[in-house]
Amino acid sequence: MNQRLHNLQAWMKENGIEVSFITSSENVFYLSGFFTNPHERLLGLAMFQEEEPFLICPGMEVNDVKKSGWNHEIIGYSDIDNPWELVLTSINKRIGAVRNAAIEKEHMNVERYEELKSLFPSASFVSAEEKMRKLRMIKDAKELKVMEEACALADYAIEVGCSEIKEGRTELDVLNAVEYALKKKGVTEMSFSTMVLTGANAASPHGNPGNTKIQKGDLVLFDLGVVVERYCSDITRTVAYGDINDKQKEIYDTVLKAQLAAIEVSKPGATAAEVDLTARRIISDAGYGEYFPHRLGHGLGISVHEYPSMTETNQLVIEEGMVYTIEPGIYVPGVAGVRIEDDVFITADGAKVLTNFPKELQILK
């Protein structure tokens, strides 16, 4: 049994949970190595304290589950089977009446919950989500390797984006060129909708790319990420097209200083709040506190937003193996919008930065 299943099992034993029934694609993938989007069909991974786990999925996916490396029981069902009856039988074969079960209460819908409650009338249900988030927060060597690849492609995307900034080009022109170049490299999915923002658009933290032409003297903000083997990267760079004014430069330098300082304090033993506040104080001291309206960053992995949440109030202690973004920003309407974002992996010695496109202000001619 793999380490991830062992970790879930240890939690179940501590909390007297007899069965965990995990149904979200992301968590099934995390625990089993098998990914599918089952749409309206049932996908589930059942884990026990002692007994053999099983995975239930549509029949046509059984071979893919085997190929993914899952070497426990697989239950395939056809469109005329009732998969819930198979779940009931398979659980009852292993354990008697279920009293304490864990499900994903944020993921599971009410319709399924009512089905499950009628199958297991004596069970009470707790949520497995918080535990799953904590397990996923610490990355192993295999996950790091994939995320490094995703980050290298994000760097490449910024490089392409910079080379595409030219007289007369719009935000969408540059965005399309970036995504086209990535597709040629085999990328089939971005972590989220790619952002290329300029001028007034970049000075809003919630702008959307459009037909605005990039003008000399503008800052251009890229925020994008690439998915590699289900893992996300996430990078932001802000570059100048032609010469920019002193105020814009001051804002850029402040964000960069804050970003570097937050990387510096990112190490085991620090808290998320300390890391956020390190950057936030630098920005406040420079007089831009009110223009940094969001948290410093977020964990990254199978989801583009996961634990840890890098806020000024989160007392969570940073540990080896965490991967998170560090992305301070200053957005002054009418003046400039600047954000600089890296993905970092925490080692015993501190943060290893996974995104490596240069951060000194790039002035494109």
Give me the residues that bind its own copies (CB under 8 A), please.
60, 103, 105-111, 113-114, 125, 127, 172, 175-176, 180, 183-184, 206
Q: Which of 351, 365, 327, 355 is nearest to 221 (CA)?
A: 327
Least distance (Å) between residue 293 CB and its own copies:
11
- Burial class, 301, CB count within 10 angstroms (exposed 0-12 / middle 13-18 / buried 19+): buried
Residue closer to its own copies by CB (options 2, 15) is: 15
Residue closer to its own copies by CB (options 209, 260) is: 209
Decide: 330 and 254 in contact? Cβ < 8 Å. Answer: yes
Angle between helices 171-184 and 141-164 (to 10 degrees): 130
Residue closer to its own copies by CB (options 295, 359) is: 295
Decide: 98 and 18 in contact? Cβ < 8 Å. Answer: yes
Residue closer to its own copies by CB (options 24, 233) is: 24
Least distance (Å) between residue 322 CB and its own copies:
21
Residue closer to its own copies by CB (options 175, 340) is: 175
Q: Which of 225, 216, 163 is nearest to 194 (CA)?
A: 225
DSSP letter assigned to residue 80: T
Residue closer to its own copies by CB (options 171, 342) is: 171
For residue 104, give both structure tokens: 């994903």
Least distance (Å) between residue 207 CB and its own copies:
13
Residue closer to its own copies by CB (options 15, 208) is: 208
Least distance (Å) between residue 255 CB and its own copies:
23
Residue closer to its own copies by CB (options 142, 183) is: 183
Least distance (Å) between residue 173 CB and its own copies:
8
**Rounded Cα distance, 49 and 18, in Å:** 6
**Rounded Cα distance, 12 and 110, in Å:** 24
Least distance (Å) between residue 252 CB and its own copies:
26
DSSP letter assigned to residue 60: G
Least distance (Å) between residue 186 CB and its own copies:
8
- DSSP of 232-300: E--EEEEEEES---HHHHHHHHHHHHHHHHHHHH-STT-BHHHHHHHHHHHHHHTT-GGG--S-SEEE-
Least distance (Å) between residue 80 CB and its own copies:
12
Residues 6+ apart with CB under 8 A from 168: 213
Helix (H, G, I), strand (E, B) or coil at 226: strand
